[in-house]
Structure 1
């Protein structure tokens, strides 16, 4: 990766997450360290229930860790109150999920304008930004269409554009291609990758798709509450070690 990656968009240090359940303590995360640089794509893999979602929620300021430090674009946000955490989330973090969650009564363009208006961006500026993002994802001719008139891949591309509406430092993606057929998933991932590089966003992407994970800069596997790092080329033995789902 280039020197730009040396600028961290996300830093997690010593992250611990414990839950009290039926009088017992369940330790889901056991001292996780993680850094994601600007323009870097980091894959997060592992079986369901391993703690990937908990880690994403902590990185995205949706959940507080039991212990450890969270920094977003160099700022320590570990001890902020809920109001300030919400401000940081709106300004600095974009989210993409497996299902697009677009508002069905609004057009593609309006879905991208809305988060900007919530962040107090003037409407005229928000519209210009929405049009720019629609061009970036190749949907400039579809901006007036509501989600029901868009294909699954187009809907997810709008969701990615919406996640980038407020020019975040960090993009959190949870199975962003999981609801798409392989050809469409490939197209959406290629577009996401290009935008991350161009916008110098740090991207943490949880996925079960090892073919896509192999194309990212680094691969982190959640195992026993800790992260194990692989080079993308190492994922072939990882895939062979996976249990048969049949």
Structure 2
């Protein structure tokens, strides 16, 4: 029996009104992502991938359909409870790392844990373990300006997993990196998803990397279809 999905979207609709024109970006999108599964999301620019990720990550509400995170129906929650669910269950990685420049690599991973109520000591242990997992134990005390682009993105991935989320949302996580560095970062991301048993939804324009994921979905005319 397969494990319960960490993310379930069903019949998701998102409509924008622009200058009197009704634009249906999502028209019944549906997907499921299970623990330890890496699902790629592809589609042309403007297709609505970022909108879909925002809805999946509880950053935006759909106009219709349901979003379930770890079995919890987010539509039934008020804003405070949605925020709490997002912080507890979802990690985010973006194209640009968004690390805090005045803090070290270790501190960038410690801070979100302390916000979640973890003690500094416990957070530092977890941060050290994650930095070792991404090959940056020796760089723990370095601020982002002293790290390469690939190293910064590896720290960002470690930070996203710091609070042991069940779901990882990644928007072009290798899009700002050269091909060799992108390959290395993708390999680390895959290893961590498997090891931490995280369900990952990864939007990318890199079809070579996408083909190495467990499944690839294409956003086409507002619905998700298997990419071939």
Q: Matches of 1:163 and 1:138 in 2, distance apart?
A: 16
> Residue 130 of structure 1 aligns with which residue?
127
2:203 to 197, 201, 206: 206
**Consecutive unaligned residues in structure 1, runs of 5 or more:** 235-246
Q: What is the CA distance between 1:7 and its match in structure 2?
A: 2.3
Q: Matches of 1:23 and 1:79 in 2, distance apart?
A: 30
Q: What is the CA distance between 1:19 and its match in structure 2?
A: 1.2
> Residue 242 of structure 1 aligns with which residue?
none
> Residue 219 of structure 2 aligns with which residue?
222
> Residue 29 of structure 2 aligns with which residue?
32
> Residue 71 of structure 2 aligns with which residue?
74
> SS state of the match for residue 190, structure 1?
helix
> Residue 237 of structure 1 aligns with which residue?
none
Q: Matches of 1:153 and 1:201 in 2, distance apart?
A: 22
> SS state of the match for residue 34, structure 1?
strand
> Residue 241 of structure 1 aligns with which residue?
none
> Residue 240 of structure 1 aligns with which residue?
none
Q: Matches of 1:95 and 1:176 in 2, distance apart?
A: 10
Runs of 4 or more, structure 1, over 4 Å off, are none
- Listed as ranges, the matches of 1:139-218 within 5 Å are 139-218=136-215
1:103 is aligned to 2:106: no
> SS state of the match for residue 16, structure 1?
strand
1:85 to 82, 86, 92: 82
Q: Matches of 1:136 and 1:78 in 2, distance apart?
A: 36
How many aligned residue pairs are there? Answer: 228
TM-score, length of structure 1 as denominator length: 0.91
Q: Matches of 1:191 and 1:19 in 2, distance apart?
A: 37
> Residue 60 of structure 1 aligns with which residue?
57
- 1:12-36 CA-to-partner distances (Å, cap 9, x unmatched) read 0110001122223211100011100
> SS state of the match for residue 29, structure 1?
strand
Q: Matches of 1:8 and 1:103 in 2, distance apart?
A: 32
TM-score, length of structure 2 as denominator length: 0.98
> SS state of the match for residue 15, structure 1?
strand
> RMSD between aligned alpha carbons?
1.0
